[in-house]
Amino acid sequence: MRLLYLYPEEWTGRRAREVHTLSTCIALAQYGVEVTLLTAGGRRELLSHVRDMTGATEMPGLHLATLSRTLGPIRSAAIFSFYFRIWLWWQEKFDWAYVIHLKAAAMLSRARLPYAYEAHEIFAETPQKNETRQTQLHQLEKKLLEGAALRIATSASLAAALRRRYGGLSDNFVIAPNAGLSPLDRGISAANGPFVYAGSIADWKGLDLVIQASRDAQVPLKIIGGTAEEWQQLGQNLDTRGIIWQSRVPLSELPEALGGARAGLIPTQPETPSGRYSCPMKLFDYARCGLSVISTALPSLQSLEVGPWCLQVSSPTREAWAETMRNFHYSATQVEMARNWAAAHTWAKRAEFLVRAFARCGVRGSF
């Protein structure tokens, strides 16, 4: 099976969707699929990212390619699409394409290549500057979903929301939640360590909530994420005194950074479009390291069947979070439950599931 993963934007090596994309490509390649990951630039960053995740810049079955989306001072998806059509003409036939970007679908429809679309949010629910742009997003997303030979959603709640919003979609969504690496040989948490948050320090991630709640509960807090400049900017809006902070670390160094923590935190704000359907990858990072988790009660968690090691805060308020952190009890049994859960939710198992979904669909492409 030959699969083209079309990612029509520059690679930075810092975005969560890049971790998701590269993890999917690596796992599929390890399962035996011939995967070509095509991006709109950032090859050096992409190679560095592959090295961080695999220990090498090359691996069997994974092919990396880049095309520009710039022409002089102009940057446009149309430029990338033009180069893509030329590039595709010279490639050996692909059986499938895989996309998570709205603009990628239009490029593939012209190539008459069947594609799988993976939904991780509802783009049309993201507020735009004007109504015209909002309408365009709605139409683009609807067309993409209607044209997909295989529809994948990271949670059952997201699939249901897409069917409600767009109507007329058959009930053939494949539910494939995010995943993680295999669990460590032993847990690295500690009963008296700080609560820890690892990830983006963007506003909608709910950092203000856990910072305030930890102070109310009088418990230690560690934050891993962002740069020194970003942390300084955050400190201009929030009181970050007394918080242990560490800048963003590569995935390979995350277990060391998480070592000695009491529990991992996921304070994602569900009222935001991205947060409402979020299937947070940090859940898998925490679990594989043997950390219990405190998370906002996100709808996506229902598709993951998390156990008592993952405490869900029903109300995303400062008071509810403070109470949960104050009353948290460390349990060695739950540490092992988290690791066992992580072993059943790896990228390798997800790749196997996706390949079976492709086989059931039974569509082969040609151009």
**Would you tell me how many other CB atoms lie within 10 Å of the CB of residue 139?**
11
Residues 282 and 328 in one domain: yes
Give yes or no: residues 209 and 279 share one domain.
yes
In a shared domain, residues 152 and 244: no
Q: Same domain, yes or no, for 116 and 200?
A: no
Q: According to the 3-state scheme, what is the secondary structure of 261-300? A: CCEEEECCCCCCHHHHCCCCCHHHHHHHCCCEEEEECCHH
**DSSP labels, 305-342:** T--TTEEEESS-SHHHHHHHHHT----HHHHHHHHHHH
**Do both 155 and 35 map to the same domain?**
yes
Please check whether residues 297 and 207 belong to one and the same domain: yes
Q: Are residues 65 and 148 in the same domain?
A: yes
Report the C-alpha gap between 17 and 4 in whole angstroms.
17
CATH number, domain containing residue 294: 3.40.50.2000
* Residue 184 forms part of a structural domain: no
Assigned domain for 366 exists: no
Using the structure block, give the residue that is written with the tokens 């939710």: 345
Tens digit of pLDDT at every position of the chain (367 positions) = 999 999 999 999 888 899 999 999 999 999 999 999 999 999 999 999 999 888 888 899 999 999 999 888 888 889 999 999 999 999 999 999 999 998 887 788 777 789 999 999 898 888 788 888 888 889 999 989 998 999 999 999 999 999 999 987 766 799 999 999 999 999 999 999 999 999 888 665 788 999 999 999 999 999 999 999 999 988 888 889 999 999 999 888 999 999 999 999 999 888 776 678 888 899 999 999 999 999 999 988 988 989 999 999 988 899 999 999 999 999 999 999 999 999 999 999 999 999 999 998 875 543 3
Asked if residue 188 belongs to a domain, the reply is no
Q: Are strands 221-224 and 244-246 parallel, antiparallel or unpaired?
A: parallel
The verdict on 32 and 51 lying in the same domain is yes
Do 45 and 153 reside in the same domain of the chain? yes
Same domain assignment for residues 82 and 169: yes
The verdict on residue 42 lying in a domain is yes
- 294, 313 contact by CB (below 8 A): yes
Q: What are the backbone angles phi and psi of residue 6, rounded to the nearest 5°? A: -95, 115
Prediction pTM value: 0.91
What is the separation of C-alpha 116 from the centre of its chain, rounded to a whole number of angstroms? 17
Residues 18 and 161 in one domain: yes
Bridge partners (DSSP) listed for residue 153: 119, 175
For residues 132 and 138, what is the distance between their CA atoms, to the nearest angstrom?
Answer: 10
Q: How many CB atoms lie within 10 A of CB 122?
A: 19
Token pair 């995303």: residue:
316
Number of domains in the chain: 2
Is there a domain that residue 149 lies in?
yes
Burial status of residue 237 (CB atoms within 10 A of its CB: 0-12, 13-18, 19 or more): exposed
CB contact at 8 A, 162 and 153: yes
User: d(Cα 291, Cα 337) in Å, to the nearest integer?
Assistant: 10
Q: In this structure, are residues 162 and 173 in contact, taking their beta carbons and an 8 Å threshold?
A: yes
Distance CA 208, CA 239 (A): 9
Are residues 295 and 277 located together in one domain of the fold?
A: yes
Domain that includes residue 171, residue range: 2-179+347-361
* Cα–Cα distance, 107 to 40 (Å, whole number): 13
Q: What is the pLDDT of residues 6-37, one digit of tens each?
A: 999 999 988 889 999 999 999 999 999 999 99
Question: Per the domain annotation, does 185 fall within a domain?
Answer: no
